[in-house]
Amino acid sequence: MPATRCFVIGNPIRHSRSPVIHGHWLAEHGIDGSYERIQVAPEHVPAFLDRLRAGEFAGGNVTVPNKEVVMPLLDSVSDTARRIGAVNTLWVADGRLHGDNTDAYGFLAHLDASAPGWDGRVRSALVLGAGGAAKAVAHGLAARGLERIVIVNRGPERAIELAAAVGPAAEARPLAEAAALVGESGLIVNTTSLGMRGQPPLELDLAALVPGRIVYDIVYVPLETQLLAQARALGGVPVDGLGMLLHQAVPGFARWFGVRPAVTPALRALLEADLPRS
């Protein structure tokens, strides 16, 4: 039997860390397969999907800027991906192309692992940002039945639109109110690129943070952002973004290679060693 080939397509693609994750799992399980970075510009996505449909690959991941581009070209799109408005995982079954979005799963799985039982304690979450990542986070939180999901964003229209899409638990508030909302939030999530290496800092004063509350930053370069350092100093529970990246890869690997892989300390250490030092 020929080796099972999988891919991640995006443009640019050289920075994707997904091959490190899937390569580790392939070796761990002794699977004869591959996972390749392939640069595909949006205009070449249809031709690439023809290769997928023709059987050259079992499936793969889709990253920026193709996550929305692929959607109308697929035979089926999961409800989750439709809600989030983006697909990050593709697979072929019976000659049909399927798409799902595993970002909400990855976000929640890492939260479950880092703060077990959190959803029994947290009633209200504060979500910073209203972009693609925020959609996955907010829909994921709604799926867990949170009573209140407050979304703040620099551009207020995007926050209003996302809150409306998420449903009655969600509401949009002005960004200027973020610090005042900290005290009443059991979970605070940064979904913006602020605080990432090379980006402006995220200026959120967590002074009102109640000890024991969770602060989750989906940024993972650096691993400990200023937001997480602040949370730690105030007795909060910091959750970093690397685990979300690792967990979102699990469902794809399970589909393509037929084995459900684990997010282990060894895998995490491998990725940490691969991250820029500063």
**Shortest spacing between CB 200 and ligand ATR, in angstroms:** 5
CA-based angle 91:92:98, to the nearest 5? 60
Per-position x/- string for 121-140, each x denoting binding to ligand ATR as judged by CB under 6 A, each - no binding: --------xxxxxx------
**Residue 155 interacts with ligand ATR (CB under 6 A)?**
yes
Which residues, including other chains, have CB under 8 Å from residue 116's CB and lie 6 or more apart?
A: none
- Of the pair 5, 158, the CB lying nearest ligand ATR is at 158
Decide if residue 154 touches ligand ATR (CB under 6 A). Answer: yes
Q: Has 135 been annotated as catalytic? A: no
Residue 149 is a binding residue for ligand ATR (CB under 6 A): no
**3-class DSSP assignment, residue 200:** coil
Q: Name the DSSP class of 212.
A: T
Order across the sheet with 170-174: list the strands.
170-174, 148-153, 124-128, 187-190, 214-217, 237-239
Among 260, 199, 202, 209, residue whose Cα is nearest residue 231: 209
Least CB distance to ligand ATR at residue 129 (A): 3
- The yes or no reply on residue 12 touching ligand ATR (CB under 6 A) is no
194 near ligand ATR (CB under 6 A): yes
Give the nearest distance from C-beta 110 to ligand ATR in angstroms. Answer: 16
Quick check: 85 binds ligand ATR (CB under 6 A)?
no
Which residue lies nearer to ligand ATR by CB, 89 or 191? 191
Residue 138 structure tokens = 């907010």
Strands in 76-77's sheet, in edge-to-edge order, are 33-39, 4-10, 59-62, 89-93, 96-100, 76-77
The crossing angle, in degrees rounded to 10, of helices 103-114 and 250-257 is 120
Binding residues for ligand ATR, rule CB under 6 A, total 15
**Residues 142, 120: Cα–Cα separation, whole Å:** 14
Classify 249 as helix, strand or coil. coil
- Looking at the Cβ atoms of 22 and 67, the one nearer to ligand ATR is 67
Least separation in angstroms between residue 64's CB and ligand ATR is 7
One of 17, 22, 24, 67 is an active-site residue; which one? 67
Residues near ligand ATR (CB under 6 A): 129-134, 153-155, 158, 191-194, 200
Active site residues: 67
